[in-house]
Amino acid sequence: MAQYPNKRLRRLRYNPLIRDLVRETELSKNDLIYPMFVIPGNKIRKPVKSMPGIFQLSVDELTKECKEVAALGIPAVILFGIPEHKDEKGSEAYSPEGIVQKAIRAIKSEVKNLLVITDVCMCEYTSHGHCGILDGEEILNDETVFLLAKEAVSHVEAGADMVAPSDMMDGRVLAIRKALDDKGFTKIPIMSYAAKYSSGYYGPFREAAESTPAFGDRRSHQMDIANANEAIREVETDIEEGADIVMVKPAGPYLDIIRRVKEKFGMPTAAYQVSGEFSMIKAAGQNGWIDEERVMIESLIAIKRAGADMILTYFAKDVAKYLDKVRK
Ligand code: PBG
Ligand code: ZN
């Protein structure tokens, strides 16, 4: 092996064209999935205070924004619904007249060239804000899984192109796969939130989705932040149950997990750059403490470099605009 002075690693960095030539990781619009929040009403664009640039949108506004997202060349959105009424059993989650179901129908009839993915969970729809059906303070697994399957089917009946269960109940991917297949939706893929940690980084999202639990936390179903081998078991289980794409969440603080999942399974792997990751970069940028655009790109390149094939990110629109700008 060559040694200095024959070996000089700086030779491949000495001008921008050489750097372009040897770059190992590229961020593309095709990697992006844009999360959106839909609320009841008309002509509503309600800013999420802790997430600058992100809004809760009524269906009409959502549809408009989806046209913009598609025109920017972003291939997919993931929808979160804030229902009119919340109850113990999260009834609006699986109602054909639910907010997400209405939103899907509107987008599908008005927007071309956009994949509509839906988040499948109960926490936005339950009065107590938990991800499932409760018995006292316990979240019941199998009763919840039954309703999640109903929710997924109702999203697909409304026109969703893909479903993304985010609840972390045991057996939900299998139940959703079976329920979809029973209805003839054999071609609809499942992107499972396979390794989802019980993270403090979800704070701003809970404002956006109005889904803060009324008591307790999500530690009885989401993963312990300290565990990595367990993430492998979670992902393996979801693959066995029929997941087509597996997700790691959050992304930036869990690059080691993304890497291990990608290397071990070689599956299409998604990473969710969550609300707290977004808000921290925005806040520091707005204060002039960091260069927001530069750190945005760095954070996303790091997630891809770790092994992610696609990234759910609130920066999706900003990234698409940035890529248009630098390619000109
Ligand atoms: C719902 C869900 C959450 C997120 C995605 N789906 C919140 C949670 O588990 O509390 C978090 C997304 C984000 O923080 O951007 N289960
Ligand atoms: Zn949930």
Q: pLDDT for 136-148, tens place per residue?
A: 999 999 999 999 9
Give the lowest-confidence range in 17-26, 210-219, 224-233: 210-219
Strands 191-196 and 162-165: unpaired
| Three-class secondary structure of residue 210 per DSSP | coil
Q: What is the pLDDT of residue 327?
A: 79
Contact indicator for 139, 126 with CB cutoff of 8 Å: no
Average confidence (pLDDT) over 43-58: 98
3-state secondary structure of 273: strand
162 C-alpha to center of ligand 2: Å? 18
Whole-number Å distance, alpha carbon 14 to ligand 1 midpoint, is: 43
Mean pLDDT value across the chain: 97
- Determine the distance separating the centroid of ligand 2 and the alpha carbon of 187, expressed in angstroms: 25
Residue nearest atom 10 in ligand 1 by C-alpha distance: 202
- How far separated are the first and last CA of the chain, in Å rounded? 41
> Is the minimum distance from the CB of 123 to ligand 1 under 6 angstroms?
yes
Nearest C-alpha to atom 6 of ligand 1 is from which residue? 166
Max Cα separation, the chain?
71
Tokens encoding 127: 């009065």
Considering only CA atoms, which residue is closest to atom 12 of ligand 1?
A: 274
Give the span between the Cα atoms of 220 and 304, in whole angstroms.
30
Give 234's contacts (C-beta < 8 A, 6+ positions apart).
194, 195, 223
Residue 196 among the catalytic residues: yes
Per-residue pLDDT tens digits for 84-132? 999 999 999 999 999 999 999 999 999 999 999 999 999 999 999 999 9
Q: Which of 196, 262, 282, 304 is catalytic?
A: 196
Q: How far is the CA of 124 from the centre of ligand 2 (A)?
A: 7
Amino acid at 195: A
Which residue among 100, 120, 121, 282 is best mutated to probe the pocket of ligand 1, counting the most ligand atoms within 8 A of its Cβ? 121
Is 25-326 in CATH node 3.20.20.70? yes
- Taking residues 2-18, what's their average pLDDT? 97
CA dist 186 and 207 (Å) reads 35
What is the reported pLDDT for 328?
A: 67
pLDDT in tens, 252-308: 999 999 999 999 999 999 999 999 999 999 999 999 999 999 999 999 999 999 999
Question: Which sequence spans correspond to the domains of the chain?
Answer: 25-326
| Cα-to-chain-centroid distance, residue 321 | 20
| Cβ density class 160-182: b for 16+ within 10 Å, e for less | bbbbbbbbbbeebbbbbbebbee
User: What are the structure tokens assigned to 119, written together?
Assistant: 């988040």
Rounded to an integer, what distance in angstroms lies between the CA atom of residue 326 and that of residue 323? 5
